[in-house]
Structure 1
């Protein structure tokens, strides 16, 4: 019956579907954070998915609905369309899904079976969907991978709770990826993971999209560019203290600030108070496609973050030929060669002194030379290849963990937390059995994989129109 329905549905669009190439993986990226939200995690997921698709793998993305953006959308260039499931899941604060533990299992399981997924690849510790999907994937016998993009502490209540949740959800994960060595050390300590299961694969940059253009720079003034979410974690309080002192000591320096967030008001109040309206330009939120046009106007890029696992923004700025000043936090010292970045401690006097030093050095920077160096150092194609190598390693291990193996992993958490995790793992298994009876796998229509080379131009345009 299910196969009959499938054949009937596939008569539409001139049978433009076909199976994926042999030996390629079927991957589901899962994260609460994706378009229309913009950030480092979102751009990492997008860039990695595009390069995996180019290599012949099937990649879909599962996230929650954003306003009226619901259902299935196809995103990207016509040759590399990414299928995105915007699930009807309620987001809470900061566009993170409401924790449910088991309520999202039916829809996630339906998608994974419908798309014949082999690997569930979750992203970001603070994503509820990511944590839940790792547990679901393990219970369904699928390979599971987790990528960590951020650093978290150990001594505040929120971090303690998050670390315990992550320790539970990752206890059955097959492999973990971190974007820097600092991030790796942080994750191993927080989640108590076996170091052998954790791989470092850094972020990258598309050099074709971030090219220098010295003609866009002012010849009379030195422009310091800030492109960031204007929130506490990004060190905006430090920026509020830095700008007046730099403007006071360096008459030839102006600031360009691109971004939005709850600290924007603090910045604007500082500009009003110090009467710097003609020295500080606010651009508001800037789409990622327009970030390059902002960067090329500057001579120096300033990042005041209080914590960063990698910071792709400084990589994009350096690729555009800017000299970077960034606080020495997290994995930032790993990103750029020492002659492309100045690394002050995260305090106002140190940042001011390093901005002054950057102003003195920026004239000697060769934008195109730095661009070519970074082009050789960072490549999304290489990142995709290293990610596939992690998938290959998992595949070579053979069968996935049994129920008793998973319960043993939960029990190893120890104490009351281990007991709770054990009960939750058993509950998840029982719920999965009930969902399997209610929604039998043989009645879920399998979606054939799109063969993009067989699509006509009008058919490609029709798919892209689904994302509008």
Structure 2
């Protein structure tokens, strides 16, 4: 079988299949691009197959990207011809490993899994599907996807739990997103001791709860004045932007809350250097790459306890995990009013790296590919991060 040699030592042909990819911006898109580029850098032959329209070739490193659609209303809305094209690509290019990246609505991903046949296939679930379990069970009745011979993985234990309930006895391993820890380590810049800067980075869409974030900030602002001045920067763009701008005007928040839109990684790093804490309001966060980047920059993270952020933020150590929006408001006020606690958490975050650095994630990914190709069957527990082997 192709790829039966040790994946860490030989050149392997890898296909990453995803409904969501650049130039669309988000955690899934950036992670897949970064993973593919790093695999290519160590000598593997890596290609991306996607339904997201955009340039045919990535500029950085010459990564080959197969675009199955030229223009669509949404990346997940596919013409049947595009699905047929993906099946032909998988057949004709004879990849050693097919790595499928799935989300809540991923027709390309699930069509690819069904079409992969005997090809070694690893599937990574990037979303929380607990609220859609009934729909996935209905799909399983018709297509039997839970019994497909693939290696199942998810980006966090939180994301893995509902998938484990759906696939029965098949193991579901945790394969987290990766991060370049050193790239996100930033030196804090001088700041006004009476001003507290809160930053959030997210897609301005209902699932990320940006409107709820503004409500929390409004309440925290009222609780802190006049002792501390609160300033907030919410980075990102999306369908709720105009609604959020109206909310800021209505509640007279425009002087201290800004919506700068999408920013480059360099500008986000610079912003982290001027910020005091990071807030992540989403309750359906499978991982939280922006929060991980902020944690590497040293920022205390305030987040909801339900999501995947708890994989790298422990309550009281790297930040505060709250059980409710009221709890998040209390956490923001608490950290804003206590610079000593903020600095203690920041010092810890700068000194202790998270367990998702790229070298470790690449090894874990290779371990999943090895299982898929029947090359190596390391002793892995699917309830924790797998050891590479």
Which bracket does the TM-score occupy, shorter chain normalised? 0.7 to 0.9
Q: Tell me if structure 1 keeps the 8 A contact 2:314–2:321.
A: no
Q: Helix, strand or coil for the counterpart of 1:276? A: coil
Q: Which has more helix, going by share of residues?
A: 1
> What corresponds to 1:192 in structure 2?
167
**What does residue range 407-446 of structure 1 map to in structure 2 within 5 Å?**
none
Partner Cα separation in structure 2 for residue 99 and residue 182 of structure 1? 33
Within 1, Cα distance between the matches of 2:209 and 2:203? 10
SS in 2 for 1:290: helix
Structure-2 change in CA distance of 1:109 and 1:124 (3 Å):
closer
Which residue pairs with 1:374 in the alignment?
353
CA deviations 1:127-158 (Å, max 9, x no partner) are 211111111112xx31111100111234xxx6
1:48 aligns with 2:35: yes
- CA-based RMSD: 2.5
Offset, 1:27? 0.9
Distance (whole Å) between structure 1 residues aligned to residue 8 and residue 210 of structure 2: 48
- Contact 1:218/1:297, CA 8 A, preserved across alignment: no
Choose the corresponding residue for 2:97, options 119, 128, 139.
119
Q: Note the alpha carbon deviations across 1:380-430, whole angstroms, 9 max, x for none.
A: 1211111111111222279xxxxxxxxxxxxxxxxxxxxxxxxxxxxxxxx
Counterpart selection for 1:212 from 165, 186, 202: 186
Query: Among residues 24, 44, 50, which one is paired with 1:37 in the alignment?
Result: 24
Structure 1 unaligned segments of length 5 or more: list them: 1-19, 399-468
Is 1:132 matched up with 2:108? no
Correspondence for 1:240: 214
Q: Which residue of structure 2 aligns with residue 98 of structure 1?
A: 78
Which position in structure 2 is the counterpart of 1:231? 205
1:358 maps to: 335
Matches within 5 A, 1:450-465: none
Instruction: Tell me how far 1:41 sits from its aligned partner.
Output: 0.6
Q: Give per-residue Cα distances to partners, 1:438-467, cap 9 Å, x unaligned.
A: xxxxxxxxxxxxxxxxxxxxxxxxxxxxxx
- TM-score (ref. length: structure 2): 0.84
What is the SS of the residue equivalent to 2:66? strand
User: Which deviates further from its counterpart, 288-297 or 171-180?
Assistant: 288-297
Query: What is the deviation of 1:337?
Result: 3.6
In structure 2, the gaps of 5 or more residues are: 1-6, 377-389
Q: 1:170 to 1:50 in 2, by over 3 A?
A: farther
Q: What is the deviation of 1:159?
A: 5.6
Tell me the matched-pair count: 361
The within-5 A match list for 1:166-205 is 168-189=144-165, 191-196=166-171, 198-205=172-179
Deviation of 1:213 (Å): 2.4
Preserved CA contact (<8 Å) 1:201 1:383: yes
Q: Is the 8 A contact 1:64 1:90 kept in 2?
A: no
Q: Decide whether the 8 Å contact of 2:11 with 2:45 is kept in 1.
A: yes
Structure 1 length-normalised TM: 0.71
Q: Which has the higher contact order (CA 8 A, sep 6+)?
A: 1
- Alpha-carbon distance in 2 for matches of 1:273, 1:224: 21
2:368 to 390, 398, 403: 390
